[in-house]
Amino acid sequence: MSAAIRVLVVDDQALVREGLMTLLQTADGIEPVAAAGDGLEAVARSAEHLPDVVLMDLHMPNLDGVEATRRIRAAHPQTEVVVLTTHADEASILDALQAGARGYLTKDAGLAEIARAVHAAAAHQTLLDPAVHLQLLAAATARGGSAGAVGGARGEAAQPLPDELTPREGEVLGLIARGLSNQEIAAALVVSEATVKTHINHVLRKIGARDRAQAVHYAYTHGLMER
């Protein structure tokens, strides 16, 4: 039997911290090991307990969750971070992903969603709340409009993709950013999952991303989400 995933809970509200600690005790394969009330305490507790996953709030006193995420990921690369916050605005999402967060959930997520994100993070996989994907897509569409930064207006020649991405790799990256799984991407492009995995490996290497979360950030900032 595999060891339980050790989780550090970080939130500046005591009631939320205690509630999450109690809730996680009922989740299969998860062991809440400690809690912290701000970013500085989160960094210290991470060094002390070396959790597998940190469940991180964003807006906190002394040190916010984004900077705490950045420091924890730099000091303890084996520790993954899943954001759990009330804020699903464009800036918060992008800042957290850039800092190294592996997952991003809003606080209306239930135990099943939180547990799924924790398990995914522990396996070094990315899981973003569907509402987060929708927020990024809406922001990208509003920002780029019908004449997106890459695709151009209908009838115009498409501009070259950044970092020597091929058109197919650009398609794959756009579908990753929309939250599709490898199986769903394969179905959308009518190719095998093995081919999708090859494309994804090429994409991550070319754009310098370590995972899907950073790929989403890249796709958004380069105007590829609406492709």
What pLDDT digit, counting tens, does each position of 12-71 carry? 999 999 999 999 999 999 999 999 999 999 999 999 999 999 999 999 999 999 999 999
The CATH number that applies at residue 62 is: 3.40.50.2300
Q: Residue 14 — left, alpha, or beta (φ > 0 → left; ψ -120 to 50 → alpha)? A: alpha
Residues 123, 149, single domain; the answer is no
More confident position, 221 or 5: 5
72: tokens are: 């924890």
Tell whether 56 and 124 lie within a shared domain: yes
25 and 117 in a single domain? The answer is yes
| Bridge partners (DSSP) listed for residue 106 | 85
Residues 136 and 122 occupy one common structural domain: no
Domain ends where: 95, 112, 128?
A: 128
Instruction: Judge if 98 and 209 occupy the same domain.
Output: no
Write out pLDDT tens, residues 62-98.
999 999 999 999 999 999 999 999 987 888 888 998 8
Kindly tell me if the per-residue pLDDT of 142 is higher than 90: no
**Same domain? 36 vs 120:** yes
pLDDT of residue 31: 97
- Residue 89: the pLDDT is 82
**Structural domain contains residue 182:** yes
The answer as to whether 226 is a domain residue is: no
pLDDT at 154: 40
**Is 93 inside any structural domain?**
yes
- Using the CB atoms, write b or e for 65-104: b if 16+ within 10 Å: bbbbbbbbbeebeebbbbbbbebbebebbbbbbbbbbbbb
Residue ending a domain, among 128, 147, 177, is 128
Tally of domains within the chain: 2
Q: Residue 191: which CATH number?
A: 1.10.10.10
In this structure, the answer to whether residues 118 and 179 fall within a common structural domain is no
pLDDT of residue 158: 57
Residues 123 and 144 in one domain: no
227 found inside a domain:
no
Residue-wise DSSP of 135-199: HHHHHHHHHHTTSBTTTBSTTSPPPPPGGG--HHHHHHHHHHHTT--HHHHHHHHT--HHHHHHH
CA distance 135 to 79: 27
* Nearest residue to 137 (alpha-carbon basis) of 90, 180, 194: 90
Note whether 67 and 20 are same-domain residues. Answer: yes
Picking from 128, 160, 176, the residue at the C-terminal end of a domain is 128
Domain membership flag for residue 179: yes
- 162 and 113 in one domain? no
Tokens of 27: 């989740």
Q: Are residues 91 and 143 in the same domain?
A: no
- 170 and 101 housed in the same domain: no
Q: Angle formed by the axes of helices 212-221 and 193-207, to 10°?
A: 70
Containing structural domain, residue 192: 132-221
SS3 (DSSP) at 87: coil
Residue 155 belongs to some domain of the structure: yes
Q: In what order do the strands lie in the sheet with 127-128?
A: 30-36, 5-10, 53-56, 80-85, 103-106, 127-128
Burial zone of 25 (CB within 10 Å; 0-12 exposed, 13-18 middle, 19+ buried) = exposed
Helix (H, G, I), strand (E, B) or coil at 94: helix
